[in-house]
Homo-oligomer: A and B are copies of this chain.
Amino acid sequence: MATGYLYHELYEWHDTGTHASLLPADSRRGLQPFRHFENADPKRRAHALVVTSGLINRLTRLTPRRATDEEILLVHTAHHLQRLTKANDTGGDAGDGGTPFGRGSFDIARLALGGLIDSVKAVADRYVDNAYALFRPPGHHAVPDSGMGFCMLANIAVAVRAVRRSHDVRRVAVVDIDVHHGNGTQTVFWEDPDVLTLSLHQDQAFPKNSGFLTERGGGAGFGHNLNLPLPPGTGNGGYSEAMRRVVLPALRRFRPELIMVAAGFDASALDPLGRMMLTATGFRQIATMLVDAADELSDGRIVCAHEGGYAEAYVPFCTHAVIETLARVERPFEDPFRFDTLGQQELQPHQKAAIKAAEKLVKDVQHP
């Protein structure tokens, strides 16, 4: 049983500048210089915990290389590739005005994507049984012609297309637990019946007007995009129920050969951008269900790609819990933050209602 683990120090070097958390510093708008939410700390500290807890000794280190133009063009337009290539020397924005990056950041984005592609292939090849890719920048908001929401490249979408091209893998399920809607992945695979895209997210958080239950895929892909917008304030109980009622049944119907997880941690109870209440316990429960599903359905093949998550001190513990689950660690490292007892961690009726609405759509998921 081997779990691949991807990390590279250069992921810490992606530069998002002196923002006021989200917005460019601007004295005229009252925005004093500070740091960007999407800075290196949450992921740097997550990696540090993986090392210092000793978990690293249970993992197989994977070494990244830069994704090629050809790989990027599997999903992205030449226009977007050109934009990033040109701005790599000066820094710039990836397209939506909210995705700043610095000198050399596109090299780093390539190193993240290339690392993910190879992680997926390592699982497809059975070099490792499953894998966790811890990197920056994230990917699930990027669309073919533009970066978006801190994402420069559509990491998971490209990796899925790449592995389907190189390996005998057809049916892929992408489970997105980032607190924001996985709009980029949805867009790329909108008409593709062979990729089931599932997104659990906070109702209408980001992007605007995106992530509704009614977005179900188009053409041959109808039914194979499934959004489950959850009410703000949803905790471990609500997420577990959503997994049990919607995600797992959908996966069982679809029978993927590979499960990809958009592993955002901005649904944690300490995240400044999300309003959810997941704890390390909740993330562990979700991961356990997904690993079990992979055992049952995809011969254990599951790859997690790190997405958002901005709680510098807490992302490490949540990430650690997921990686421990992949690696089937028996005695997990203790989460010193005690947020399991927050009020309303258990499933609430209004959350149940939202989940039930999505549950009805599961029947349209087919084994393609």
Contact = CB atoms under 8 A, between A and B. Distances in A.
A9 interface: yes
Nearest to A316: B30
Contacts of A3: none
B27 A311 contact: no
Q: How large is the interface on A (under 10, 10 to 19, 20 to 34, 35 or more residues)?
A: 35 or more
A231 B336 contact: no
A336 B29 CA distance: 7
Contacts of A166: none
B30 A336 contact: yes
Given A22-B337, A203-B343, A350-B350, A275 B272 contact: no
Nearest to A314: B21
A169 interface: no
A298 to B, nearest CB: 31
A347 interface: no
A333 interface: yes
Contacts of A366: none
B26 A104 contact: yes
A229 interface: yes
A14 B26 CA distance: 9
Interface in A304-329: 311-314, 316-317, 320
Contacts of A231: 233, 344, 348
> Which DSSP category, helix, strand, loop or mixed, fits chain A's interface?
loop
A270 interface: yes
Contacts of A269: 275
A108 B275 contact: no
A18 B102 contact: yes
B21 A18 contact: no
Given A31-B313, A232-B344, A350-B349, A337 B23 contact: yes
Contacts of A233: 231-234, 275
A244 to B, nearest CB: 21
A256 interface: no
Given A10-B52, A17-B17, A30-B317, 16 more contacts: A8-B51, A13-B27, A14-B27, A15-B27, A20-B313, A23-B313, A23-B337, A25-B102, A27-B107, A28-B104, A30-B53, A32-B48, A32-B316, A232-B344, A270-B273, A348-B350
23 contacts: A9-B48, A10-B52, A15-B25, A16-B18, A17-B17, A18-B18, A21-B270, A21-B312, A23-B313, A25-B103, A26-B104, A27-B104, A27-B108, A28-B103, A30-B53, A30-B333, A31-B313, A32-B316, A34-B41, A231-B348, A270-B273, A271-B272, A348-B350
